[in-house]
Amino acid sequence: MTRDLRVCFVGDSFVAGVGDPEHLGWTGRLAAASEGAGLPLTRYVLGVRRQTSAEIAARWAAECAPRLTGDWEARVVLSMGVNDTTEEDGARRLDLARSVAALGEVLDGAATRGWPVLVVGPPAVADEDHNERTAALDDRFARTCTDRGVPYVPVVRTLVADPTWMRQVAAGDGAHPGAAGYALLADLVRPHWQEWLAGGR
């Protein structure tokens, strides 16, 4: 029997694929790869620019419920955090403890609803200090997921060291890459994505 798989990709502008002239982002590339491997799925992209983890935690359930509630296999991919570590007027937009709490809220809510979650860590931008703050958040996010038995894909340190990603981000708006950068991010996530999907419901 063919799996009726429906996945909500929840998060920020990177989930939305901002900057990709092909309008696929990393989520579209993952879905296309699964389709090519014989696993079609319905992909819902729920990324909102500039949103922090707290803002995402406040809206995710209401947006996912009409898309995932039903007699089919429902899953959530979550990626957020870069906007939390952005500094405005000398202060980060969301303090570390609130970021971690927001992640926990989403994970606990998904567990209550029976929706498996895969979390992809926040990526790198063109600002070195910003990336250091993001790396610290990445560590806390990873620990939060480990404590709940949720798979986590850290990407920020790999992307900081990748010349293609950093070159594309610098050439764009300082945050978002082009098509090659999103293809790279999809490649980083893909083995974890495949393992997660292979786990069944």
In our burial notation (b when 16+ CB lie closer than 10 A, e otherwise), range 157-166 reads ebbbebeebb
Q: Indicate the number of domains in the chain.
A: 1
Dist. CA 8–CA 74, nearest whole Å? 8
Q: What is the CATH number of the domain that holds 168?
A: 3.40.50.1110
Under 8 Å between Cβ of 155 and 185: yes
Containing structural domain, residue 193: 5-198
The residues of the chain scoring below 70 in pLDDT are: 1, 200-201
Share of the chain above pLDDT 70, in %: 99
Say what the pTM is: 0.97
Q: What is the pLDDT of residue 200?
A: 62
User: Could you tell me the strand order of the sheet in which 42-47 lies?
Assistant: 42-47, 5-11, 73-79, 117-120, 152-153
Strand-pair partners of 92: 87
Element (H, E) at 27: helix 25-36
In our burial notation (b when 16+ CB lie closer than 10 A, e otherwise), range 169-185 reads beebeebbbbbebbbbb
Q: What is the pLDDT of residue 201?
A: 56
Type of residue numbered 101: A
Q: What is the pLDDT of residue 106?
A: 99
Q: What is the pLDDT of residue 199?
A: 83
